[in-house]
């Protein structure tokens, strides 16, 4: 007698996996097609509406904005097609004007900053020169023997005439640099 052998669970699972992979590809294609269709539909619905926009004022003075024309005295705010192109070109011109104004302000700011830095550097140099001139004047006024160094690096002491000349030069330097 022969016994009928049922396939074991592994055989059934492997066949099921093969079947699922085939049906999975079909399911993917089905869902991808559906997703593609819904995406195209969403893009079509998201396109801007080509309706006119009306602004009108009622008898009580209240301003209304609608997409359907009222009885009378309506002003068209947004038209179709060409109006959008005009609005786009106006927006581009406005954006270009704003960009030019920004670039001009930026350039002016940069020039003002450079000028301020230059003035600050000149003021710093002026203060340093004033401090050096006052120090030299103080040294000449307070010391009896003053010397200078020659080109060889040796000290040479000033006589009274040279000291008086150096003192006059130092006083002139103080009056020039310390304003």
More confident residue, 115 or 162: 115
- Residues 6 or more apart whose Cβ sits within 8 Å of residue 176: 133
Residue 102 has pLDDT above 70, yes or no: yes
- How much is the pLDDT for 16? 46
Q: Which of 126, 134, 139 is nearest to 174 (CA)?
A: 134
Structure-token match 């340093």, residue found = 128
Say if CB 156 and CB 150 are below 8 A apart. yes
Examine the pLDDT at 112 and tell me if it is beyond 90.
yes
Residue 5 confidence (pLDDT): 56
Tens of pLDDT, residue by residue over 38-52, are 888 777 766 555 566
Q: In what order do the strands lie in the sheet with 75-78?
A: 63-66, 53-57, 75-78
């Amino acid at each position: 007698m022969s016994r009928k052998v049922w396939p074991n669970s592994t055989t059934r699972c492997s066949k099921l996996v093969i079947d699922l992979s085939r049906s999975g590809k079909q399911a993917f294609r089905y869902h991808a097609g559906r997703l593609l269709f819904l995406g195209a539909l969403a893009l079509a619905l998201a396109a801007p509406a080509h309706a006119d926009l009306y602004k009108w004022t009622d008898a009580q003075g209240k301003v209304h904005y609608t997409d359907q024309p009222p009885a009378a005295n309506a002003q068209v705010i947004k038209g179709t097609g060409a109006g959008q192109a005009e609005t786009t070109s106006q927006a581009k011109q406005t954006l270009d004007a704003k960009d030019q104004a920004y670039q001009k302000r930026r350039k002016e700011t940069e020039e003002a900053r450079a000028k301020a830095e230059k003035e600050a550097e000149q003021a710093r140099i002026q203060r340093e020169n004033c401090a050096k001139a006052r120090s030299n004047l103080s040294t000449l006024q307070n010391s009896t023997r003053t010397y200078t160094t020659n080109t060889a690096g040796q000290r040479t002491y000033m006589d009274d005439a040279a000291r008086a000349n150096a003192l006059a030069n130092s006083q002139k330097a103080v009056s020039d640099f310390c304003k």
